[in-house]
Structure 1
Amino acid sequence: MSRVGLVPFSTTLYYISSWLLLRTSSRLSILTNNLGASSCSLFFFPGSSCRCLCRSLSGGGLHKLQTMAQPQDVVVRDPEALEKKITAVREAGPIKLQVIADFDGTLTKYWIDGRRGQSSHSLLQQGNPEYDAKRMELFEYYHPIEFSPTIPIEEKTKIMEEWWEKAHGLLIEGGLTLDAIKQSVSCSTIGFRDGVIEFLEFLQEKDVPVLIFSAGLADIIEEVFRQKLSRSFKNLKIVSNRMVFDDNGHLISFRGKMIHVLNKNEHALDMAASVHDQLGDPNGLNNGGFSVKKRTNVLLLGDHIGDLGMSDGLNYENRIAVGFLNDNIEKSLKTYVEAFDIVYLNDASMLGVVDLVTELCSS
């Protein structure tokens, strides 16, 4: 049996319960075959509940690394390169680190109790059945296109812009209100991944700024945080589509440039410029090291290839990109593994990322 590459952490012991050769597993064979000719190693962060599906470096077979904990799947493109990044970020310290994250499908679960979890767009119920039905029709038509692995990115970008424009127009025409937002979140099937609270609390403790770039709706995301987590975080800022309401609480327009799932690299950083100067300073002051502009190490979290553009324009020295591949795994795995440093499969929890940031801030 070939030796599978593992990322060694000096402070961690690896507990391996068994190596099992899985030559007859059709699902795992499909996953591995889709990785193509590139040799890909997989690892787990000790202490997290994870299982790794591993192709040996010599290409000799498919193995499953199991731990005694509840499993989740993790894929690493290049363990040696990742280890170098982790070491560089750790040695620079938390004061040089910033986190950029997507919201829907990244911080939130893709599946909830066997049902597709809602996004900050899809959870909205306007109290107007006609317009709710129209927006659902848009979702059913455009959502498969969003995650299609066969449509070129340029074509898909135009289609996503078309979807967002139509959806925002229906929200205004349908008379969305602030009260409807609160009620919609209360009745929604949206929830954070296990470990998100621990993730955000740890980063707040370490004064690491978290910038959430979302193609959803900022007003709804803030309401989700209020209702689902019942707390706020001083180091967290949301850059997303923001609504403008009249004095009676009725939506009348949207503020600024529209952000959809594939144009975050074009508009989000421009919209985030004002918070880049101050985010991360607990006193709201731009005092050198706390300025996000001077935090040249980036941890990026996303569930879409387009999310990688969230760091475009940043002058970073090291970027660790973590992708959550929630659906279409067999068709999309190769693309995700080539794009992200770490890929979590099957709607995994955030606990592995908690272990990662703990390691990054362990200096």
Structure 2
Amino acid sequence: MRPMTSPPLLSPSPCALVLRLLHLSRAPRRRNPTAARRPPCTFRHCLPVFLSAAMSSSASTTAPDSVIADPSTLARKVADIRAAGPAKLQVIADFDGTLTRYWYNGARGQSSHGLLRQGNEEYDAKREALYQHYHPIEICPDIPLPEKAKLMEEWWEKTHGLLIEGGLTYDAIKNSVFDAAIAFRDGVVELFEYLEERDIPVLVFSAGLADIIEEVFQQKLHRSFKNIKVVSNRMVFNEEGRLVAFKGKTIHVLNKNEHALDMAAPVHNNLGDPNGSIDDYSLVKRRTNVLLLGDHIGDLGMSDGLNYENRIAAGFLNANIEKSLKDYSKAFDIVYLNDATMQGVVKLVADLCP
């Protein structure tokens, strides 16, 4: 992955609030997620940082940690959300490549769906064959979205059928996660704790499998958070711990949005736990300010169906930076580069809800 060498896309004269935003976005590359929080930065501390970034040129040898294409718009959104208070805010986050790292020990990390091993090589191979057939369709820009959506649902349902037919069990999920090359970004725990303390809900959207995501939470974070709910495909297991069905509608890459809220449930302590759901969707609907976190431009659709007043979209651009930065900086209010930690988002949330 080539380093980014061009300067941040920053306005030469943003307001003081944006100076703070710039400072909060330039977080350390790695930090212990349990470390003590630092107090929000002040204008006096941010000014030198901003001036250094704003005066940088294409000859700079230091890659920026983030890009803000329109500082004034971001500043307005931050001010409005802050004025409305935490009771009006919700966080919507993608899982793979957003909450989790893109790179893991120098190699591409696994996704929550890709890590799964059924314990049956025949069916693992069949699912891989489906991936090889349908993934080119998923990324093909020439296929109309309605047609592509039908094909994606077909792919997901065939895959789910193979998981049932191949006899997927609780133990296979647990063992798959234990052996997986997957990890949360540094700062995720700090972010979740900060949001939990302020009763700000987090909806984790995924076209993968909720039961696997919940097991990743349990094994990698060793705890759950009362404010986090996973919106993803849910499994039904029998008394022997064998998968027998999937619950509700199929969530795939093209319908991963708030229309699927009836699939939401808290992160459980046990796989297949049927308890817990969002009983009153109005509690979420009344939270009309949104912080959206994603690593693909398509993740912006996660807020479809929500009548929001303000949305700050924070994107993680993990690879192909020089090729994709222009599109990402147009789509997202702030873009974090090079598989960044979650510390920039932590400080952004601290500014939204001090």
**Same structural fold, with TM-score higher than 0.5 when normalized by the shorter chain:** yes
Match of 2:305 in 1: 313
- How far has the Cα of 1:5 moved from its partner? 2.0
2:101 matches 1:109:
yes
Q: Which of residues 210, 213, 225 in structure 2 aligns to 1:221?
A: 213
Instruction: Give 1:48 deviation, angstroms.
Output: 1.5
Distance across 2 between alignment mates of 1:144 and 1:114: 26
SS of the aligned residue for 2:230 comes to: strand
Query: Which stretches of structure 1, 4 residues or longer, exceed 4 Å deviation after superposition?
Result: 1-4, 6-14, 54-57, 63-66, 140-156, 272-279
Q: Which residue of 1 aligns with 2:58?
A: 62
CA displacement 1:96-150 (0-9 Å, x = unmatched): 1110111111101111012211111111111101111222333345446545667
1:96 aligns with 2:88: yes
Confirm or deny: 8 A CA contact 1:277 1:292 kept in the other structure: no
TM-score (norm 1): 0.77
User: Which residue identity is paired with 2:11?
Assistant: G
| Count of matched residue pairs | 317
Aligned partners of 2:122, 2:346: CA distance in 1, in Å?
43
Q: 1:335 to 1:125 in 2, by over 3 A?
A: same
Aligned to 1:253: 245
Contact 2:203/2:229 (<8 A) preserved = yes
User: Letter of the aligned partner of 1:323 in structure 2?
Assistant: G
Of 177, 190, 199, 2:182 maps to 190
| Native 8 Å contact 1:259 1:267 kept in 2 | no
CA distance in 2, matches of 1:357, 1:215: 26
8 Å Cα contact 1:47/1:355 also seen in 2:
no
Alignment of 1:160-199 (within 5 A): 160-199=152-191
Equivalent in the alignment of 1:39:
none
Identity %: 63
Of structures 1 and 2, the one scoring higher in RCO (CA 8 A, sep 6+) is 2
Within 2, Cα distance between the matches of 1:73 and 1:2? 9
Asked whether 1:5 is paired with 2:11, we answer yes
1:30 paired residue number: none
> Aligned pair 1:336/2:345, yes or no?
no
Residue by residue over 1:12-69, the C-alpha shift from the partner in whole angstroms, topping out at 9 and shown as x without a partner, is 779xxxxxxxxxxxxxxxxxxxxxxxxxxxx4526613799x9989xx9636595xxx
2:111 match: secondary structure: coil
**Aligned counterparts of 2:258 and 2:189: Cα–Cα separation in 1:** 30
| 1:359 partner letter | D
Whole-Å separation in 2 of the counterparts to 1:336 and 1:162:
29
Structure 2: state its 5+ residue gaps. 1-6, 30-48, 266-275
**1:49 is the counterpart of 2:28:** yes
CA contact (8 A) 2:297 2:328 kept: yes
From 281, 287, 290, give the equivalent of 1:295. 287
Question: Could you tell me whether the CA contact under 8 Å between 1:210 and 1:235 is conserved in 2?
Answer: yes
Instruction: Measure how far apart 1:235 and its partner are.
Output: 0.7
CA distance in 2, matches of 1:44, 1:301: 19
Q: Which runs of 5+ in 1 are unaligned?
A: 15-42, 280-285
> What aligned pairs does 1:134-283 form with structure 2 within 5 A after superposition?
134-143=126-135, 146-147=138-139, 153-154=145-146, 156-265=148-257, 267-272=259-264, 275=277, 278=280
CA distance in 1, matches of 2:339, 2:140: 18
